[in-house]
Structure 1
Amino acid sequence: MSHARDALGRLKAGITLVPRAFDQLSKSPSQRAAAQLETMFQGIRIPSATDLEALRKRMQAVFTGGDKVPITRRELRNAVWILWNGSPQGAAIPGLMEAMIGAASASPRLIRAMIEAWLRDYAADSGVAREGGLAIRRLLRASQDALLQRWQEADRDFAIFDASKGVPRIAKALLSGRQEVGQIWMAIGLDDSFRATGGYMRAVLSELLAMLPAVLRGSDARVMLDRSLAVLAPDDKLRFGQEMRGAVGRGLLGAWLDAGRAPDAALRDPVRDFLLRHLGDPRTRAPNWTPVGDTATALMRRWLARASLDAFFDLIDEYALDHQWRYRKAFWSAYLERGAIEDAWLALGYRVGSAARAVRDLAGAHGRLEGGGVQGNQSVLLMHIGPLVVCEWSHNGKLRAWPRDWANAPALHRQTYARDDLVSKGLPFPPSPETGVGGSADGMGLVHRGSDNGVWQGSAAELIARKARITLTRSNWMPT
């Protein structure tokens, strides 16, 4: 403590030797107001990282008694930018924060600089940052400066500088408040581009994302989802880019990771579309999804499988003229609803591919059928069901299945497929256990015969039950 007191004494003595930084009594009120407004709008000037590190060493030396040269007003003003970052944080240097508060009590300009630095460098796990916020709050309460009124109101309405209360209060207001999202940003000063990229904004977004899974199960889920998407991606650009991908993916998908009731399309589709735009398709942009985690990524893949399945049968309905389509749709939809289809991918003939651009849910995520033996209006649906790769053709194509680890099993997510990639020998299909007929022993595919009586369906269901341990019965997969 004696070192800190000595340093404070030297600080006060040093400041008397230079023009007084924070005493503007020699100026008229109009001159002072003009100077304050000029300062407010001329932008934030931060010393270089090299200069700040040199300043950190200097402050540490002064306040521990190792440097006897008095601190200048400019050094003290610049020191706000080391208070809550680096090592050691300036606010943790004994005596520096007390000196800063003493100088700021006579300088609204310095208070404003402290606010900017605190919002930029705030970290939720930093004790000195929380203490710094409370110190700023006390300075604001004691100040009569008109240019600080906005921050005084933000602290009064949202407790912004009491981070233990302010961060969750702001996050809750963004999700469910009466004000529009943009109005809230203005009220708390985070509408500014500099502040919108700082640590405090990160903390607010992290808190909001932590709240999302619970609110998306509530009665006002759609309203809160729309507000949260406006917060996360203003102007359709994700805040903090790659840095927030993991938290954004987990927050938006977290409501449905407990294997409970699936979301309605009114919630699922905007979440899915938002994640596709900002994280990409996990089937083709897997590295983007690594920070999201396996469980949430698997859910997203199942949602995309649904989109692929729906698109496949829409295209069959338009192009294949296949009377069996409703039986196939009912069969595979039953496995989709059970969560058995982990992933799905479409390969489309050139005529279908052209039309598929109009299928919004595919968002361009499909392969192409090329080469001989393929009709331009054919399409193929590839699925992962447990350890199996399943290939379903439109028109009169056969159903095939392979273990995933077989060398000739077709891979999902490729951009192009030839016919030979999709018709190689696979697993035999057993007869339907219910009728004792059907099946295909040669491994060359199962004909969709006897749809009305569940013949091929019973055979396919038996293979899936044996290999994937997923059992569905006639009552599950026959259309009503």
Structure 2
Amino acid sequence: MSLRQASEKAARGAERGYSRPPGRQTATERAVASLPDETMLEPAIDDEERSAFLARVTGLRLTSLKPSEMRWLLRTVWADDEHVPLASEALSTGLSAGRRTFDQSIIGGYLSHFPVAHPAFGQLAAAVRVAAERHDWPWRERGRRWSLWEPLEGPARLGGAMLEGDQASALQRLMDAGFDSASVDAAFVQACFEAACRQAATAEGAAAERQGSCLIGLMDTVGAKSALPAVLVYALLRPWRRASPSEAHRGAVSRLLVTRIGDPRLDRSRWDRVRANLQELGLGAEAEDALAVLRRWVVRAAMREFFEIVAKTTNDPYQWAQRTKFWLAYVDAGAIDDAWMAFGPRAEQKARGLTDRDATIRHGRISTGGGAESSHSSVIISMGDLRIAEWSHNGACRFWQASDPRAPVQYQKQYDSGRLKAMTGGQGFRHISHTSNWEPRFARHIHAVTGIPHPVHGRGGW
């Protein structure tokens, strides 16, 4: 007989006034009875089985329950707010008994579920203070040290302490507070993690890097494992709205977010869910500024990726060093809105294995013909009202108005080389060769159209 079937049978018996034979236990009771007295864990019972158990004990005189049943009731009744009278009665009965194991179960229910929105949470918070203080045991000192029984102060205090060192010290703080590796999914721990994220979001400089690294380390231990919590995304990005982290930290954060959630330019539905979650957390006002940080980093990484890959495959390193210096100056100034790489077949093959960031950078492909060889690559750049196609080999750089229907579109998987190497276009189209003194001429045209000066060449010249 399954655990669910055992629970349903017990519920039907209670409805008909039957009592089970002396010494017989339901499967639920056996699972509860097997738990250590002072654990915060609950038996692995699904919602249906839990509902059957609560239905059976509702309306009974709670003092008639077995101790194991009472312990289970005190822990599990907080999983939803459908049994408010039963929750209140369970607290009153459990506190009146004065039993250490019942008090442990009250603490377990509070920390496991931390049901701040539950109608009876105020009663639970008051009860847990009594339960923790009236025994000479570790919970008395833990509660005082970490303010565990103060719903507003506790998560902020323990969450802040988790940020004071590295991942190992953060986990030690949790252990000091009574949470072992098997109880890090407790709702109170999740509240501490959220509080830590909110505090880390306000950090600056080296402290922001250290705290961000700590949160990344805790992510799969304490944070949600299947998807990144939106508040963690916020914590990792907000400190860098008007500052720049080290290259190593920027890379670590970018790889994490793009790998786990997606490219913010391409995987928009996933990032829309992050925005919605931040809105629910009351962080919507600053969400866009924070998420814009990642987009800026992805664009920067795409541009640097392109120039690094071509540098490893070019036959003219001096020429490529000039182009790299010119375009990356715009990148470092934050003047490039977007960049999308496109490789010819041979160029794409060469690019594989040349970088460890291929998981974060996507690209398109260039069809052969139309003046482009299979070894050629192009990067399609957006700057203000300009759409630009810069090439890896000799030839002109093309400049379109972004509104020109002939301008290449970002994020395509396949590009026609003839269009990228066009010699004509709509109004405002230009093709400028990389002949002598090309940098000032490029800068002049870009400034004339966008108003953006080059960090070195300014408004350019002839």
Give the TM-score range, shorter chain: 0.7 to 0.9
Q: Measure how far apart 1:70 and its partner are.
A: 7.4
Structure 1 counterpart of 2:336 = 341
Structure 2 counterpart of 1:439 = none
Contact 2:159 2:196 in 1 (8 A): yes
- List aligned pairs for 1:130-279, cutoff 5 A: 131-144=123-136, 149-177=137-165, 180-193=169-182, 195-215=183-203, 217-234=204-221, 239-242=224-227, 244-257=228-241, 260-279=242-261
RMSD (Å) for aligned C-alpha atoms: 3.5
Q: 1:317 to 1:38 in 2, by over 3 A?
A: closer
Contact 1:84 1:128 in 2 (8 A): no
- List aligned pairs for 1:251-330, cutoff 5 A: 251-257=235-241, 260-293=242-275, 294-320=288-314, 321=316, 323-330=318-325
1: CA distance, partners of 2:364 / 2:264: 15
Secondary structure of 1:171's aligned partner? helix
Structure 1 counterpart of 2:101 = 109
TM-score (norm. length: structure 1) = 0.73
2: CA distance, partners of 1:367 / 1:96: 62
Structure 1 counterpart of 2:378 = 380
Q: Measure how far apart 1:309 and its partner are.
A: 1.3
The residue type paired with residue 158 of structure 2 is I
2: CA distance, partners of 1:453 / 1:392: 13
CA deviations 1:206-246 (Å, max 9, x no partner) are 1111111222x144333322212111234xx962433x442
Secondary structure of 1:400's aligned partner? strand
Q: 1:351 to 1:69 in 2, by over 3 A?
A: closer
Q: Measure how far apart 1:254 and its partner are.
A: 0.8
Gaps of 5+ in 1: 1-17, 20-34, 430-442
Q: 1:175 to 1:304 in 2, by over 3 A?
A: same
1: CA distance, partners of 2:430 / 2:49: 73
2: CA distance, partners of 1:69 / 1:403: 76
1: CA distance, partners of 2:381 / 2:237: 22
2: CA distance, partners of 1:245 / 1:341: 29
Q: Measure how far apart 1:168 and its partner are.
A: 0.9
Secondary structure of 1:180's aligned partner? helix
Q: Measure how far apart 1:176 and its partner are.
A: 0.7
Contact 1:130 1:162 in 2 (8 A): no
Secondary structure of 2:149's aligned partner? coil
CA deviations 1:409-436 (Å, max 9, x no partner) are 323233333313423444555xxxxxxx
The residue type paired with residue 231 of structure 2 is A
Further displaced range: 359-368 or 166-175? 359-368
2: CA distance, partners of 1:39 / 1:428: 79
Q: Measure how far apart 1:119 and its partner are.
A: 2.3
Percent of aligned positions that are identical: 22
2: CA distance, partners of 1:199 / 1:283: 33
Secondary structure of 1:261's aligned partner? coil
1:79 counterpart = 2:77:
no
Contact 2:299 2:337 in 1 (8 A): yes
2: CA distance, partners of 1:212 / 1:449: 50
Q: Measure how far apart 1:94 and its partner are.
A: 5.0
Q: 1:192 to 1:45 in 2, by over 3 A?
A: same
TM-score (norm. length: structure 2) = 0.76
Q: 1:402 to 1:114 in 2, by over 3 A?
A: farther
2: CA distance, partners of 1:262 / 1:180: 27
The residue type paired with residue 445 of structure 2 is S
The alignment covers a number of residue pairs equal to 411
1: CA distance, partners of 2:378 / 2:102: 67
**From 444, 452, 457, the counterpart of 1:458:** 444
